[in-house]
Amino acid sequence: MTEAKNILTFKSGIPGLPEEFKEFKFIALQENSAFYLLQSVLDEEICFILVDPFIFFPGYEFKLPEEDRNKIELQDIKDVAVFCIVNASRGIKEATVNLCAPLVVNTAKRLARQIVLNDGGHNLRQPLPAAAAARGGTACAGVVQKERPDY
C-alpha cells in the first residue's frame, strides 16, 4: 500500500483561490514518486499536482525570507519541505513547474505557505524535464521518474 495522507494548513490561503480554502490533503501519488497531490478538503476538484523540485532541478535554491519562516512557525530548518506546483493544463507532455512561487511546509506543525520569490531568477513556467523526456513515449511521469535521465 502506498498511501500517505496528511492535512496541511495554509493560513493565508493560496493566491487565486477563495480565502476559505486553507486546508488541503497532501497525498503521495506512489512510493518513490516525485509527484504529490494537494487536494482541498472543501472541494476535491480543487487539486494541484506538486513536485519535489530538487529531483528535477538539483540546482534549485532560494533564501527563505524571515517573515515567511515566521509565518509557518519554523523553528528548525530541518523541518522544512519544499514543493512546487505543476501546471499540466496544456497536457502532461507540456507540463511546467512554478519555481517562482514554491510551497514551503513546516512538516512538524503541518503549516504551509506559497511564498513569492522576488529575486527574478526563478521561472513561473519552467518546463518539467521528465515531461520533455516523455515525449515520444507514453507520458506517464511515474514511469519516467524511475528511469530519470541525467541532467
Partner 1 sequence: MLVLSRKKGQTINIGHNIKIMVIDIQKDQVRIGIEAPGDVDIHRSEIYLAIQKENLQALAKQDVIKSISGGCGPDQSGRMKK
CA distance 12 to 86: 20
Smallest gap from Cβ 14 to partner 1, in A, equals 6
Residue 150: which residues within 8 A CB-CB, separation 6 or more? Answer: none
CB of 42 vs partner 1, minimal distance in Å: 12
Residue (6 or 61) nearer to partner 1, CB:
6
C-beta closer to partner 1: residue 88 or 108: 88
* Binding stretches for partner 1 (CB under 8 A): 1-3, 5, 12, 14-17, 25, 27-30, 35, 37, 39, 41, 44-49, 67, 70-71, 85-89, 91-92, 98, 100-101, 114, 116, 118, 124-125, 139-143
Tell me how many helices (H) and strands (E) the chain has.
4, 9
Cα 66 from chain centroid (whole Å): 21
Q: What angle do CA 100, 65, 40 make, to 5 degrees?
A: 55
CB 147 to partner 1: min, Å: 14
Which is closer to partner 1, CB of 110 or CB of 125? Answer: 125
What number of other Cβ atoms are within 10 A of residue 82's Cβ? 17
- Closest among 18, 6, 12, 7 to 46, alpha carbons compared: 18
Q: How far is the CB of 79 from partner 1 (least distance, A)?
A: 19
Which residue's CB is nearer to partner 1, number 12 or number 61? Answer: 12
